[in-house]
Structure 1
């Protein structure tokens, strides 16, 4: 096998790959062994006809496509390695020469990782952001804990009021016709939350359990479901229950119930310490993000669209996984919001491009600075991940594949590269 670089224009490379005739003949024979059972030849059972008879009946090149499929992956991998290319997309393939007792000559066009022209990345100026924890923050956190430990109790002696939770059945109609997605049963609606169409919740105030209320609303002109945007609708709502949130008393007993502390004062002090620790981590994260953003701003890169497309697809996959953790999936999300998958991708594209640029810049800096990973650093990274999975480091390490180890190495290199940026920065 021989590979030759023919042309390189920006991030697109054209290369010629030549597979020797003997090697291609072996691939053609393998293709025959694989496909011979698909051909009908008079006088022979399927899979028993000689190769030459099949070629005579169906054409000399009947096995060529499969032979290319057999020989190309290895030939392409070797060509990429020999020519020191870093592809970021699948190649486009053309056949220049092929035939019986001939070399196979293939022309491959592929997008490769772009050149990164680094700007100044050492000594960059960064404005530090400070997060101060106030007593108000502590009180808000404690109030959040009260909310988490509250309970809903039924109210039977009055009508619906703001901040109540109304348990309702409802069905919506436009022009007298029920519409898809407009019906619900035993739905818990917090009055005043703004989670329903503007004007809906207010019309339930004053209703009693057992009442049927006709709610008149107009869908927003930019509503996600185009068939409903700007339309007037009537919802028939049955109020089944009225519930009010009962908050626990803010005292020492509350502290004992929700924590390991005996007094409310101890709980507040601990909450403040934890908020201050979180604030410090946020400051550090902000500083690191700013250092990376600044280094990326100073760099020049012609980012291939293929890399952005791949990043968008990765983000879409991650979003789908997040939805599944909430009991949804991407298909249902698209259906509920009335969006198109192309719209979602378009929303992600700018962020995807920034992520690609950041990744390329950090990679270029790490290579220029010769940043490497020691065994100790790699083992520490693996141990941290093992802790997250509540496993012993050695047992966790046994489950890792080669690509997993590469992933952890890349993580360490990225962290060390960002450390370099921050340590050398001028922080105001």
Structure 2
């Protein structure tokens, strides 16, 4: 095998690899001989099929197999001998291959950059901590109570906000009943916002037996395009007006959740809210860590990875729509912005991968299995199909493994960084850091 480096520009590498015809033919003969001991052909005893006949019937297939094998072996040996780590699957361009010919092909790829990760111990981070207030616990309790409230019909009552009405209704557009605009026996809580804007408010003051004409305009972004932005009239017959029975938040209420008493319920809620606060706090801390790492690294990244990342971001944001020169100019500007984001993501991804490689961070099979089960729970009734999909698809499992690996590396780095804590309000913890940056720049 002869390997010649034909290009080395930044992270790009290109090689011309030649394997002699004699080597290829020798390998073909070995495989044909091995095949002759296994193949069965009419008129011949096992192992007695003439080599010429086997070569005639199977020679082309064996040659193709040998050529593919030689390509794979030479790629691996080239990468190993030259200590190169390709960023993506190497591209192979065969320029010569055939019976009695040398095998010649071009091998091109981008390598992973060589860089020294910054010392995380030199990074100082501030962890925002928001204690759980009694008001948050009370608000959660009230929310649970609202979900469990019962409505009782009250004769002669006029509907007020918070009441529930049982209604029949028929909707019309330009005097014609439209599909999906009619229903009977619907329970509607005034103030719930379940119906389109303006509908519930017009039922305030109604009593059982009243027929109310409700005039509304469907929102411009309404899901059913044939109704979006249209004016409609609903004839609404009020069957019942029901008032919410008071829900007493006491020990009996707590027992409805399987807990011993109200204090146990409050404790469980406080712990749940604490976990939510902790998740927000870690999210902010992780972002600050990544910002600090991005500021400390400026190594070259493979263009092929950047291109893939731009495409992925573009798909996520739904970019690429619109026509005309003006939109094309905006698109070019947007693409430049997306490229900057993609470069940052790729660089940080390579950095985290390198830190994890040096620290021998591993994702255990059981961790991937837990992620698969969590994914399956998102598809009620299709759990078996989801689990089977991941069991047969290594690429899909890799997509689940990647974020687990990233979080483990981030945890490792957060453990090494200098971290101080600052107590803040929940509002400050929830605030988008970009808002502060924009305010400062204004």
TM-score in terms of structure 1 length: 0.59
Q: Which has the larger radius of gyration?
A: 2
Kindly indicate whether residue 119 of structure 2 is the aligned counterpart of residue 123 of structure 1.
no
Q: Residue by residue, what CA displacement relative to the aligned partner does 1:306-352 show, whole Å, maximum 9, x if unpaired?
A: 435656898999x9xxxxxxxxxxxxxxxxxxx96967xx99x7877
Structure 1 portions without partners, runs of 5+: 34-48, 56-60, 320-338, 391-398
Residue 232 (structure 1) aligns with: 230
5 Å-filtered alignment, 1:19-98, equals: 19-22=19-22, 24=24, 72-98=71-97
Q: 1:156 to 1:312 in 2, by over 3 A?
A: farther
The answer to whether the Cα contact below 8 Å between 1:150 and 1:247 also exists between their aligned partners in 2 is yes
Which residue does the alignment assign to 2:293?
295
The corresponding residue for 1:419 is 415
Task: Say if 1:215 and 1:234, in contact at 8 Å, map to a contact too.
Answer: yes
Contact 1:120 1:295 in 2 (8 A): no
Q: Aligned residue for 2:9?
A: 9
Instruction: Quote the Cα distance in structure 2 between the aligned partners of 1:215 and 1:53.
Output: 81
Aligned to 2:435: none
Q: Structure 2: any 5+ residue segments left out of the alignment? A: 36-52, 322-333, 375-390, 423-442
Quick check: 1:132 aligned with 2:131? Answer: yes
Superposition map of 1:27-426 within 5 A: 72-116=71-115, 118=117, 121-151=120-150, 162-163=161-162, 191-194=190-193, 197-203=196-202, 205=204, 215-217=215-217, 219-220=219-220, 223=221, 231-234=229-232, 246=245, 248-262=247-261, 264-269=262-267, 271-272=269-270, 275-276=273-274, 279=277, 282-284=280-282, 286-304=284-302, 306-307=304-305, 355-366=345-356, 370-372=358-360, 412-420=408-416, 422=417, 424-425=418-419
Render the CA deviation track for 1:49-68: whole Å, top value 9, x for unaligned: 9976999xxxxx99988876
Aligned equivalents of 2:349, 2:200: Cα separation in 1:
47
Q: Provide the C-alpha distance between the structure 2 equivalents of 1:201 and 1:386, rounded to a whole number of angstroms.
A: 44
Q: In 2, Cα distance between the equivalents of 1:371 and 1:206?
A: 69
SS of residue paired to 1:93: strand
Cα separation, partners in 2 of 1:418 and 1:97, compared to 1, 3 Å:
farther
Cα separation, partners in 2 of 1:93 and 1:126, compared to 1, 3 Å: same
Q: How many residues align?
A: 362
**Could you tell me how far 1:131 is from its partner in structure 2?**
0.3
CA RMSD in angstroms, aligned pairs only: 5.7
**Quick check: 2:172–2:233 contact (8 Å CA) kept in 1?**
yes
- CA distance in 1 between counterparts of 2:115 and 2:347 reads 9
TM-score (norm 2): 0.57
Distance 1:189 1:416, change over 3 A: same
Is the CA contact 2:63–2:99 (under 8 Å) kept in the aligned structure 1?
no
Q: How far apart are 1:107 and its partner, in Å?
A: 1.5
